[in-house]
Structure formats: structure tokens, C-alpha cells
Chains A and B, each alone.
Chain A
Amino acid sequence: MPTTVKPVKLDLARLEAMAESDYYNPYTIFDWPESLGTDRPWMSEDLVTLAGTEEWGKLTREQQLALTRFEAVNFFSLNVHGIRELLSEVVLRIHTKTYADASEFLHHFIGEENEHMWFFGTFCLKYGGKVYPAVPQVGPGRIEGVGDAATELVIFARILIFEELVDYFNARMATDDSLPPIAQEINRVHHQDESRHVAFGRHLFTQLLDQVKETRPEDIPVLANYLETYLEYSVRSLYNPAVYRDAGLDQPLELRRRLLEHPARHAAHTAILNRTRKFLARNGLQVQGASA
């Protein structure tokens, strides 16, 4: 971990107080039914990767419901893997000089993220029988040729992007009465905690970006390009051929390609990524003509 990054200065008293007052015991608050049944969607129908396309209309109702089940398990699996990766980075940084000001909040953050990983994993295993596997990292996960502040920024920007993307889904599904109550509830609880995490992530992002602007402004366009690529990578991870295979859909790889090219899905990606792209643009990290 770089030592040239200056300590961040954050006033987190309000977020720390909220983390304490909002605290709940994840191991006891949920009512986990033995099974969820197959007569209702497990994921909001307007959030599945076929939504808005003619592909959705080609499916029987049974296939549509099956797809919502496997897409829910895939979405929660992505949460499991995303949390695992972000936790490993945060644990490395807590109680370092750079993040000393944030360590109190980071303890709450680590605890909450561990609990989120537990309930998302529990849903996958209990109702889906598996967590969809993550694809292993190949090569360096960092941008090469940028300074230390930019390297740190990328770590926390990835965490922020992940949190904002999943929060778009959590917020919708938390209030979708067509879903089983347990699916609504874990989306609601996650949305509640992520609101604090996103606020923290944006403060930290801005601090680290100021350091990049002061020390190596030439890194800014490199960062903008990388983060746009990361946005696109993140949204494409929702389209899992294994899900289509499990739901009994034909030619899953071709289906994935058709969906990723579909105008309705481009519009959906714009909606999913809108809040994050606006935040990046306000901070001078806009990529012209970007589309996922």
C-alpha cells in the first residue's frame, strides 16, 4: 500500500452515529422460510436482463419465473463476490496513516459488509443451491503508470461503483410486493446500510481525487477511461450465460450478445449507471460518448 498518499480528512461523526443507531443483528432479524415457491418472481421483472426486449415475451410464464429465480441468485452472488473483494482491500488499509481518520467508520463498514455477505450468501445457498462462481482475477487489478493517489482512488472508486450499482437494484426490489418477503427484506436492509456507505465512499473519493489533481493531474483522463471501462464491466456482469442455461434458455452466449446490443438494454444501462456517471462527471471524470 502506497505511503505517499496524504492522510484523508473526513468528518464522519454523523455517519458513525447512524451506523450505531441503525445497527441490527442480521443473524436474528430475518425470517427465512424453508422454501420460496416458484409461483412468484424472486427478482423484480423489470430488472431482469431480458426486460424491455422481445426475448422476454418469447418465454412461457414458467420460463420467465425461472429466469427471475436464477437472476436473483446471480445478483446476490455478484454481491457476495463484490463484498469479498472490497473487504480484502479495506482490511489492508484500516489503521494505516492515510485512513486513520476513517478507521472508526471503517470498523462499522467491515462489520456490516461481512453481514451483508452472510445474508446474500445464505439466500443463494438456501434457495438457489449455490453461489454462482466468480471469474478469477488475471493480471494486475490496478491501472499501470499512474501515481499512488490515483491507485488508491481506483480501489475506493471500484467499491463506490459496485455499491451504487447494486443499490439501484436494492432500492427497487425493497418495495416490490410481488417478491417473496425475504427477498424484499434483504434488499431493504442492504439499501439502508449502503446509503451510509455510498455517502462515505463519495467523501473519500473526493479527497483522493483532490490529491490526484494536486500531484499528478495527468492521471485524470487515464482514471476517467478506466472508470468508464469498469462501469461497463460491472453492468455486463449481470448478463451471465450460466443463468440463461439454468433457466433453460437456448444458446445462452448468443442470447447474451443479442441482449448487450439491444437498444432497450442500453437504455436500462443508462438508467442503472446514471447516478454514478453524473457524480464522476461533476468531478471532472466524464468520458464523452460513453455507453455501456
Chain B
Amino acid sequence: MSDDKLTKILTFIHQRNPEVGELNLDDDLIDRRAVDSLAFVEFLYLLEELSGETIDPEEIDVEDFRTLRAIDKRFLHGAAAH
């Protein structure tokens, strides 16, 4: 994941939940309440913009959103996972 994309994702998270604190690539975003159900739609649209690909809500697996590393692998071509 490019630093630019990671920064945009973290900015989104911290704007909505400033209390979440520092996040590492393997932190559980759902357990940490980094993205809640009311923010999730907007989060999807952000990932669509960053990936340049349409995300079908019916084909979403919540596990794909659990960590920054999983998001990177599923939507941003896994640059950070290697």
C-alpha cells in the first residue's frame, strides 16, 4: 500500500474516531471500533476511490476489512503485505 493511500485511510478513521489511537497493519479495525456500522458505507466509497474498482456490497467478506493488511491485500493489490 502506498503511504499516500494508507494516510488517506488513517485520516478517514481518525476523523470519525479520534479516540482509536495509533493503528498498525495487523490491528483489528472492527474490534478497535476504528470503523463502525454508520461509517462503513463511506469507508467503502473511500476504498473504491483508492482502488479504482467498484466494490459490490453483496460480495463483501467482513474479514477483508478486519485489518489494514487485509484491506491492502484485497483492495489495494497487497503492496504492504510483502
Contacts and interface: CB of A to CB of B under 8 A. Distances in A.
B44 A135 contact: yes
Given A138-B36, A139-B36, A237 B41 contact: yes
Contact of A139 (B33, B41, B42): B33
B3 interface: no
Interface of B: 30, 33, 35-38, 40-42, 44-45, 48-49, 54, 56-58, 60, 62, 65
Contact of B60 (A136, A139, A233): A136
A217 interface: no
Contacts, number: 47
Nearest to A260: B42
Nearest to B31: A139
B contacts with A: majority SS: helix
For chain A, the bracket of interface size reads: 20 to 34
A253 B30 contact: no
Nearest to A234: B38
Interface string A129-157: 00001111111110010000000000000
A236 B60 contact: no
A229 interface: yes
B57 A136 contact: yes
